[in-house]
Amino acid sequence: MSTLEIDRVRKSYGIHEVLKEVSISIGTGDFLVLLGPSGCGKSTLLNMIAGLDSITGGEIRIAGKVVNDLSPKDRDIAMVFQSYALYPTMTVRQNIEFGMKIRGITPPERDKAVRTAADLLQMSHLLDRKPSQLSGGQRQRVAMGRAIVRQPKLFLFDEPLSNLDAKLRVDMRTEIKRLHARLGTTIVYVTHDQIEAMTLATRVAVMKDGVVQQLDEPQVVYDRPANVYVAKFVGSPSMNIIPGVLEVQGTVVSAVVDIAKRGSARISGVAVSPETARKYAGKRVLVGIRPENFSIAAGDIRPTLTVDVDVVEPTGPDTLVVFHCSGAEVTARLPPKQASAGREAALCVDTSKVVIFDADTENRID
Amino acid sequence: MRSTLSMRDRLTHWLPRLVLSPSLVAVFIGVYLFIAWTGWISLSSSKMVPKYDFVGLEQYIRLWATPRWETAVVNLFLFTVLFLAITIAIGLLIAILLDQRVRAEGFLRAVYLYPMALSFIVTGTAWKWILNPDLGVEKVVNDLGWSGFVFDWITRPDTAIYCVVIAAVWQSTGFAMAIFLAGLRGIDTSIIKAAQIEGAGLPRIYMSIIVPMLRPAFLSVIVLLSYISIKSFDLVLALTNAGPGNATEMPSTFMFSATFRRNQMGVGAASAMMMLMTVAAIIVPYLYSELRESRNEH
Amino acid sequence: MNTEANSARRSHLLGRLFIYGSLLALAAFYLMPLWVMIVTSLKSLDEIYAGSFVGLPKAITFEAWEKAWGQACIGTACDGLRPYFINSLLMVIPAVILSTGIGAINGYILTKWRFPGSNFFFGMLLFGCFLPFQAVILPMAQLLGSLRLSGTIPGLVLVHTVYGISFTTLFFRNYFITIPDELTRAAQIDGAGFFRIFFSVMLPAALPIIVVSCIWQFTQIWNDFLFGVSFTAGQSSPITVALNNIVNVTMGRKQYNVDMAAAMIAAIPTLVVYIVAGRYFVRGLTAGAVKG
């Protein structure tokens, strides 16, 4: 059993508050990703879990045990750092063994552990090299190997892939996912890369200014973002946020948006509860539409909106089409060669995927 | 909650401070307490042995009424201006020349720099021999046929200070060069390329673009050379022994002879405090700005 | 051939000529004193007084070196520089080891175990790099007297260690600050403590700066004159003081060849260090100008 509970944890440096009552709890085998821009407090939180930073208030429990006052080595954790933090003067083998040596593990056992980890990460041939003789990806493996041999209750990863180039990052991402599947250890993983969060996590905590904005499964975070901030942070290109007005006619709820020089367009069948519909009827709201929820109106289907295309950006598998709507720049992801710049395009919207936010609080309304 | 910390953890917490404390104490005593002590002596009537009474600024008044001290201050000013100007000019010139992708750069750099490894006493001894008019440079030039050539600066009170400048420049140019060269190497070469494409010639590029970009290096060189010149003591002693007469007296030699030779401890302390204040006026703002800049970088 | 290309080539050639000409002339100027010292020390006194200055010696003689090393008179004793050379060695070796060791651990603490006030302490220490020692000589003489260390080698070791800490700490602090903090954090998670991290992780990684610090301290302490002349007398002086005494002897015909040999003897240890490890020497030299 290796659960992690973060219970109303606070951190402040003097009057500067970095974390404000953060509460997260995950179960054994979960893969928690702390996602947010730099300065949101995610790394501080990770360091507090590791015991490298002190806790100002609240409690952190690992496997049910309060660890607030335990030093890092007594918390039964292992950590992989962004810069890998390999000891530069030691060989790969010595790097992996260092912690075991300190804990007084006998040489034969150490040797066995090193061999197991090296096999698992396919780096047996690197054991006698120095870190400076390794490539970025190999260093990353060694850092993971060093963490694995501890057999910890909790793995902590601090932006482990951000020093790698794009191609290697994808490979290592898969590697980490495979490792998690194989070992089943609980993992806390810090990143600012939303794709890493989406691909790796079983639970994502999106953070901003020391506050958790949303804690949920990645798909839920993607489909039903808690607020405009999360909506824009997760997904690339990010979710379009279009100012509009909520209209109710009988049981049909629509969002009305402006198209420049063409008057208004009505997106009908937005999924909100009757109470919300009543409360917001006729009021200004923000309409959130993911780029891929647009499509070209074909055949008999009546287009939801007809727009003048500004820019077309082919990406290969599909094309990003940019146009304006209620003063906001909107991006639609469409199949290639279906629209061209300066021409008009007739688009449909997958209404079931549309998300509505309060215009003032920017929180999602259901 | 703190009380749950184990003894061991608390020790870990205090250990770094504990290990640092001897240095802290040593520096506190050796630098700050001793400065205060010197300051106190400068306000006392101490002569041969320290006396801990209080006579106000009497020693400072006496100091500034001493012609010898006046000579020392004038010399220091003259020396500092010449020493800085020449060292910076030659150091910068060598750095720029070395930056033109020359062959044997490593060897040449080593040649310009080796005087920095020597003791000022060695430098003084060597230059004393070179500058002596009977057998040194003057004689060599005379022997070459230019019999009217006179180079007896070291023997004349009004010119001996320039000899100190020559030897000091010789010893310190390498230092200025090293810092300027490091500064030049830190400049993005694409800036030079961009200027060349705009049609600027190399001298022009250096004058209007590169040299102004070396401002931090200039600051460092000026501050550190000023510091060298204020505390220069060994060189003067070995080269001219503050003479002829006391023509090349400097504050540092004045302080030494007042304190250890002429039993004027109070005046010596006052002169030491004057030196300290001059150095502090240059160094403290410099350190402050360096530290603040580096804080901004992080 | 194109005239424009021709003139461009000519001006390039002239430029190169100017660059190498200036560099070589300057190199000659900087080498001249060393050359003069060496040739003078190898000449007989008669040859010198006959007017040979820059030229090679007619007959090479090591007489002056022997005299400077073993017979020249310093004060009343006529044992040459040898005892003072040994004094300097006895002073410089412990002082270099102590100040470098202390600087290393200070730099480690100031970068990896920062505590409130540690930056202030560093600022205080830094001023020590630029202290005009005249401001502390008097009290230091008093302190050495009361510790019964006046005029002794251990006294000089103490003085050089105390005033060396500032520079060595600066070296190590500026070096360790480039080593990511994650390294110490990783070691902490591995269970290593304060000293274990220092000796197993940081110190092995600090080899270049250890060399820089040792060379810098060696040069500074070997070349020191002020402390030597202020705190020692007679037989316990370091070599710089002895050299100055030899040179300033005013009796009789001045023995320039012995002076130069003596100066060379005093210069050789630091010159050798400079030739062997010049790269590290330059790093130490510019460290004072590099941001903290």
Contact B15/A at CB under 8 A: no
- Most distant CA pair in chain C, distance: 85
d(CA A235, CA A217): 14
Residue-wise pLDDT tens digits, C144-197 = 989 888 888 999 999 999 999 988 998 899 889 888 899 999 999 998 889 999
Nearest chain B residue (CA) to C255: B129
Q: State the pLDDT at residue B145.
A: 77
Tokens representing residue B201 in the block: 């010639």
Q: Are A310 and A341 in contact (CB under 8 A)?
A: yes
* CB–CB contact B259 C23 (8 Å): no
Return the closest-CA partner of residue A305 out of A237, A351, A340, A241. Answer: A351
CATH topology of domain A4-233: Rossmann fold (3.40.50)
* Pairing mode of beta strands A77-80, A65-66: unpaired
Confidence of residue C252 (pLDDT cuts 50, 70, 90): low
* Pairing mode of beta strands A311-314, A319-325: antiparallel
Chains that touch A (3 or more CB pairs under 8 A): B, C
Q: Which has more confidence, B294 or B87?
A: B87
d(CA B141, CA B151): 9
Residue-wise pLDDT tens digits, B177-232 = 998 998 888 888 788 888 778 777 778 888 888 888 888 888 888 888 888 888 78
Section A124-134 average pLDDT: 92
d(CA A304, CA C282): 72
Q: What is the least distance, in Å, from the CA of B22 to any CA of chain C? A: 9
Chain C partners of B93 at a C-beta cutoff of 8 Å? 22
Residue with tokens 């993992």: A187
Least confident of A125-129, A182-186, B288-292: B288-292
Q: State the pLDDT at residue C44.
A: 82
Return the closest-CA partner of residue C26 out of B162, B222, A322, B113. Answer: B113
Q: What is the least distance, in Å, from the CA of A102 to any CA of chain B? A: 16
> In terms of residue numbers, what domain contains B189?
66-297
Least confident of A90-99, A208-217, B126-135, C17-26: B126-135
Work out the number of other CB atoms within 10 angstroms of the CB of residue B296.
7
Section B121-126 average pLDDT: 91
Residue B190 lies in a domain: yes
Return the closest-CA partner of residue B243 out of B39, B95, B75. Answer: B75
All residues at 6 or more sequence positions from C57 whose CB lies less than 8 Å from its CB, including other chains: C39, C42, C43, C44, C47
Tokens representing residue A314 in the block: 């082919």
Residue-wise pLDDT tens digits, B155-180 = 788 888 999 999 999 999 998 999 89
Q: State the pLDDT at residue B192.
A: 80
Percentage of chain A beyond pLDDT 70 is 100
Distances, alpha carbon C181 to alpha carbons A10, A134, B18, C45, C208, in Å: 23, 21, 21, 63, 19
Chain B partners of C289 at a C-beta cutoff of 8 Å? 179, 217, 220-221, 224
CA atoms within 13 A on the CB side of A11: 25
Q: Are A158 and A80 in contact (CB under 8 A)?
A: yes
Section A269-290 average pLDDT: 90
Work out the number of other CB atoms within 10 angstroms of the CB of residue C61.
16
Residue-wise pLDDT tens digits, C199-235 = 999 999 998 889 989 988 999 899 999 999 888 877 8
The answer to whether ipTM exceeds 0.85 is yes
Question: How many domains in chain B?
Answer: 1
Q: Are B117 and B174 in contact (CB under 8 A)?
A: no
Contact A68/B at CB under 8 A: yes
Section A84-88 average pLDDT: 89
Query: Which among C51, C266, C270 has CB closest to B139?
Result: C51
Query: Which among B114, B170, B233 has CB closest to C226?
Result: B233
Confidence of residue A45 (pLDDT cuts 50, 70, 90): very high
Q: What are phi and psi of A264, to 5 degrees?
A: -100, 160
Q: State the pLDDT at residue C71.
A: 81
Paired residues of A291 in beta bridges? none
User: Which of A71, A73, A75 has the most B C-beta neighbours within 10 Å, making it the best mutation to test the interface with B?
Assistant: A71
Paired residues of A243 in beta bridges? A286
Q: State the pLDDT at residue B283.
A: 84
* Pairing mode of beta strands A154-158, A4-13: unpaired
Q: Is A1 helix (H, G, I), strand (E, B) or coil?
A: coil
Residue B15 lies in a domain: no
Tokens representing residue C260 in the block: 């130069």
Task: Using the predicted structure, report yes or no on whether residue C291 has a pLDDT greater than 50.
Answer: no
Task: Using the predicted structure, report yes or no on whether residue A172 has a pLDDT greater than 60.
Answer: yes
User: Which of A54, A59, A65, A69 has the most B C-beta neighbours within 10 Å, making it the best mutation to test the interface with B?
Assistant: A69
Return the closest-CA partner of residue C289 out of C176, C123, C131, C167. Answer: C167
Residue B2 lies in a domain: no
Chain C partners of B109 at a C-beta cutoff of 8 Å? 282
CATH class name, domain A240-365: mainly beta
Residue-wise pLDDT tens digits, C82-133 = 889 999 999 999 999 999 999 999 999 999 998 888 888 888 888 888 888 8
Return the closest-CA partner of residue B13 out of C113, C112, C195. Answer: C113
Number of H helices, E strands in chain A: 9, 22
Q: Is A305 helix (H, G, I), strand (E, B) or coil?
A: strand
Percentage of chain B beyond pLDDT 90 is 29
Confidence of residue C2 (pLDDT cuts 50, 70, 90): low
Residue-wise pLDDT tens digits, C32-69 = 999 989 988 888 878 877 777 777 878 888 888 888 88
Chain C partners of A47 at a C-beta cutoff of 8 Å? 185
Q: Are A20 and A204 in contact (CB under 8 A)?
A: no
Residue B284 lies in a domain: yes
CATH of the domain at B164: 1.10.3720.10
| Domains in chain A: boundaries | 4-233, 240-365
* CB–CB contact C188 A77 (8 Å): no
Q: State the pLDDT at residue C64.
A: 83
Task: Using the predicted structure, report yes or no on whether residue A108 has a pLDDT greater than 90.
Answer: yes
CATH number given to C82-287: 1.10.3720.10
Q: What is the DSSP string of C225-239?
A: -HHHHHH--GGG--H
In this structure, what DSSP letter does residue A14 have? T
Helix B34-42 vs helix C134-146: crossing angle, to nearest 10: 100
Residue-wise pLDDT tens digits, A3-33 = 999 999 999 988 889 999 999 999 999 999 9
Confidence of residue A222 (pLDDT cuts 50, 70, 90): very high
Task: Using the predicted structure, report yes or no on whether residue B264 has a pLDDT greater than 60.
Answer: yes
Contact B27/A at CB under 8 A: no
Residue B208 lies in a domain: yes
Q: Which has more confidence, A190 or B140?
A: A190
d(CA C136, CA A113): 59
Q: What is the least distance, in Å, from the CA of B231 to any CA of chain C? A: 6
Nearest chain B residue (CA) to A74: B9
Section B277-298 average pLDDT: 74
Q: Are B155 and B244 in contact (CB under 8 A)?
A: yes
d(CA A32, CA A202): 6
Chain C partners of B130 at a C-beta cutoff of 8 Å? 32-33, 36
Work out the number of other CB atoms within 10 angstroms of the CB of residue B120.
26
d(CA C95, CA C101): 10
Chain C partners of A81 at a C-beta cutoff of 8 Å? 180, 182, 185-186
Chain B partners of C110 at a C-beta cutoff of 8 Å? 20
Chains that touch B (3 or more CB pairs under 8 A): A, C
Confidence of residue B6 (pLDDT cuts 50, 70, 90): low
Least confident of A161-170, B71-80, C7-16, C201-210: C7-16
The 3-state secondary structure of B103-157, one letter per residue? CCHHHHHHHHHHHHHCCHHHHHHHHHHHHCCCCCHHHHHHHCCCCCCCCCHHHCC
Per-residue buried b or exposed e for B86-108, using 16+ beta carbons within 10 Å of the residue's own CB: bbbebbbbbbbbbbeeeeeeeeb
Section C10-35 average pLDDT: 90
Residue-wise pLDDT tens digits, A233-263 = 999 899 999 999 999 988 888 999 988 778 8
Task: Using the predicted structure, report yes or no on whether residue A182 has a pLDDT greater than 50.
Answer: yes
Chain C partners of B41 at a C-beta cutoff of 8 Å? 138
d(CA A72, CA A96): 17
Q: State the pLDDT at residue B293.
A: 62
Return the closest-CA partner of residue A354 out of A337, A342, A366, A341. Answer: A366
Helices (H), B135-264: 137-143, 160-185, 189-197, 202-205, 211-213, 215-231, 234-239, 251-256
Confidence of residue C290 (pLDDT cuts 50, 70, 90): very low
Q: State the pLDDT at residue B149.
A: 77
* CB–CB contact A52 C180 (8 Å): no
d(CA B10, CA A31): 34
Query: Which among C182, C191, C196 has CB closest to A81?
Result: C182
Task: Using the predicted structure, report yes or no on whether residue C275 has a pLDDT greater than 50.
Answer: yes
Residue-wise pLDDT tens digits, A319-348 = 999 999 888 899 999 999 888 888 888 999
